[in-house]
Amino acid sequence: MTSLHADEAFLGHYQLSHDPFAPRVPGFKFFPAQRKPVLGQLHHLARYSQLLLVVTGPEGSGKTLLRQALVASTNKQSVQSVVVSARGAGDAAGVLRQVAQALNVGQADVDAILAQVVQLALTGQEVYLLVDDAEQLDESAHEALMILAAGAPEGRPHVFLFGESSMIAQLEALHLEEERFHVIELQPYTEEETREYLEQRLEGAGRGIELFTADQISDIHESSEGWPGSINQVARDAMIEAMIASRTAVKRPKMGFNMPKKHVLAISAVVVVAVAAAWLMPGRNKAPTTGAPANEQAQLPLGQGQPAANGGAPAVEFAGNTQPMPLPLVGNSQPVMRGPLAEAAGGITEGDDGVPVEGSSATPPTVTTTAPPVGVPAGPAPTPAAKPTPAPTQVATAKPAPVPAPAPVAKPAPAPAKPVVAAKPAEKPAPVAKAAGGTWYAGQAPNSYVVQILGTSSEATAQNFVKEQGGEYRYFKKVLNGKPLYVITYGNFANRDAAVSAIKALPAKVQAGKPWPRTVASVQQELATTR
């Protein structure tokens, strides 16, 4: 996915003819009230002052726009403007070469250039020499420009330096004996000027200021501190954030009870089947309760259906014993020896409580006993968990060991498993906590690179974005103008070229935010400042 497609997604969502917040928009000129006096001051000083003029402001403060306005507002008949860029050619040789080429001078030195300026002055033409990115000039370039600005008695060029405030210290380091330059510091926009700037940018792209609320405009002004370049970035991030939020809301399925009817019916059917299966399980053939009818029957497995003993009471025989054991009857309840019954079981199928499943081929002969009358508590033994022995022998009359104790211990065993299952969802927020990544950035090599996606004042928005994208997305918290800003980054790359290549492979809606590579060292510095 190319950045062109990402731009198309952004422009299509807001129906824009072009990106209103691009660094260079052809034909765009915005001059608030405070900039017009600065422009007039530059024209005045160029005519009546012999000082080198220095215009300073942070990156994105509108220096280039002011330089363009200065060139556009000069009289082309009487002024020849020469624009020089110090980017990539900040020494004296690089600057003089550009000036000589613009003035059609054969030799790129100070004397040859001043000679040409004098010739133009004799014809009534002045020379404006304007240097962009002047903070990148070195000491030799500053000295050469100072000589040009001083000029000759017959004529001199008017030199303007546009750069960040750091170049003031460089000029002062020249230890000039007299005042040789004058500094004009640009001021940030007011909130009303920020609103006018946004409105003019949007109207140029076919939309209006209605895309932003009053609160959003205030937030943009505070976050950007009123500097035009920062206004462009913050406003664009706000629009992309709103675009992503709206598309995520459309794609996210509705939760709760708004499920499709066919899904509800399918879930209901599964529940009904599960309940029916649980109801029909053989283990539900429990022993009769206290209020059971007196003539209810219970079936017990026998080895070979021996005749009743001990006064007609039915008996069960166990291997290795010589005396029959009477079954528990009314008034003579004895617990059945569950252990020997289970050990004597052959291949009989049984339920949860040891009762053979009715209807199976392994169901042995049974004997009927009478249940205890109402009011008499039934012992745990009438529900035998026994299986008959294939070869019955006589059973001893020794008092059986109480068996029901193992049953209560076995059934509650699954209970501890429930808290373990319930504890798993608590681990889900872990990826979001990891996404904050403060410690992650601290542990990376400072000279490695990450890709900055966007910044937002809402941590919830950052968390949702990281959670939706997953993978190598993470964010960190910084403080801008006393307010938190959550910056989302992507990946970890050994060098800038790898980070730039990764940007081209990002999804369209992510590329719409114009992501850019930055060093991990810069992130670590912001984290240290935040602390």
Q: What is the pLDDT of residue 266?
A: 76
CA distance 127 to 117: 7
Domains in the chain, CATH or no CATH each? 3-25+191-251 (no CATH), 35-185 (3.40.50.300), 431-530 (3.30.70.1070)
CA distance 457 to 215: 13
Q: Residue 311: pLDDT above 70? A: no
Higher pLDDT, 400 or 22: 22
Shortest CA distance to 41 belongs to which of 70, 75, 77? 70
**Cβ neighbours around 412 below 10 Å, total:** 8
Q: Per-residue pLDDT tens for 190-218?
A: 999 999 999 988 988 888 999 999 999 99
Q: Between β-strands 181-185 and 473-480, what pairing exists: parallel, antiparallel or unpaired?
A: unpaired
Coil, strand or helix: which one is 84?
strand
Contacts of 399 (CB under 8 A, 6+ apart): 334
Q: Residue 244: pLDDT above 90? A: no
Q: Per-residue pLDDT tens for 276-303?
A: 777 676 655 554 444 444 444 444 444 4
β-strand partners of 370: 297
Mean pLDDT of the chain: 73
State the helix-helix crossing angle for 92-102 and 110-122, rounded to 10 degrees: 30
E-only strand ranges, 319-430: 325-326, 366-370
CA distance 376 to 395: 28
Residue 477 token pair: 């918290």
> For the chain, how far is it from start to end, CA to CA, in angstroms?
38
Q: Per-residue pLDDT tens for 52-101?
A: 999 999 988 888 888 888 998 999 889 999 999 888 778 899 999 999 99
Q: Per-residue pLDDT tens for 153-204?
A: 888 899 999 999 888 888 888 777 778 889 999 999 999 999 999 998 898 8
Q: Give me the residue label for tokens 């200065």.
A: 70
- With 0-12 / 13-18 / 19 or more C-beta atoms within 10 angstroms meaning exposed / middle / buried, residue 293 is exposed
Q: Residue 351: pLDDT above 70? A: no
Q: What is the pLDDT of residue 23?
A: 76
Higher pLDDT, 140 or 311: 140
Shortest CA distance to 7 belongs to which of 170, 168, 236? 236
| pLDDT confidence band for 315 (50 / 70 / 90) | very low
Q: What is the pLDDT of residue 116?
A: 92
**Distance from chain centroid for Cα 55:** 41
Higher pLDDT, 225 or 254: 225
Range from 122-126, 390-394, 481-485 carrying the lowest mean pLDDT:
390-394
Contacts of 409 (CB under 8 A, 6+ apart): none
Higher pLDDT, 495 or 333: 495
HEC readout, 310-347: CCCECEECCCCCCCCEECCECCECCCCCHHHHHHHCCC
Q: What is the pLDDT of residue 426?
A: 42
Q: What is the pLDDT of residue 263?
A: 63
Residues 422 and 356: beta-carbon distance below 8 Å: no
CA distance 63 to 69: 10
CA distance 512 to 299: 77
Contacts of 337 (CB under 8 A, 6+ apart): 318, 325, 400, 401, 403
Residues 321 and 400: beta-carbon distance below 8 Å: no
